[in-house]
Amino acid sequence: MLNRYARGFFTRLFTPLARLLLKWGVTPDAVTIAGTVGVAGGALVFYPLGQLFWGTVFITLFVFSDVVDGIMARMKGHSGLWGSFLDSTLDRIADGALFAGVAIWFFTGGQNAAVAVAALACLVLGMLVSYARAKAESLGFTANVGLAERAERLVSVLVVTGLTGLGLPQGFLLAVLVLLAVASLVTVYQRVRTVRRQSLADRQAP
């Protein structure tokens, strides 16, 4: 949902930067890799140290590489299967690092096992959401449905984690993580149901 409404705005916002990077000879793949390294590094260094606010600020600087690399690829006319594969694969690394970083802190210095477990649940279910879509598409089906797509998960966890670092009670972060986990589980169900319907329709087709 957020993807559909926000992508146009951020495309206009980052197009000048994408054009400048191309002028400097930077490739879309380089931006994709740098963004992943930045997000994963920030999540696995700042968060485990308890620096939730500054970790979020650092991560946010790199999150939008996912938009910039796509703009660059379209400008070069190189948007295709390789770029899509690389982007999707590295997105999983970034997402996993983000939730893992939160879990590590709250299992250790944060001393809140409930938040840590909820973060791990989001990590696992988020991967399952992505896998369900990828597997469906590899079999010729479509599964682009659901409540909890990547943009919603990222925005939610980053905003609330950053605010927690500024003193927001940890209960708010726990609530958001639990809601994200539930939404991810519902999304998996929606995608399985969607593919099941398509499969039955294919069987009945003449």
**Residues carrying an active site annotation:** 91
Paired tokens of 42: 């920030």
- CA distances from residue 29 to 12, 19, 78, 89 in whole angstroms, order as listed: 20, 15, 11, 12
**b/e sequence 61-71, b meaning 16+ C-beta within 10 Å:** ebbebbbbbbb
**What does the alpha-carbon distance between residue 128 and residue 112 come to, in Å, rounded to a whole number?**
25
**What does the alpha-carbon distance between residue 92 and residue 87 come to, in Å, rounded to a whole number?**
9
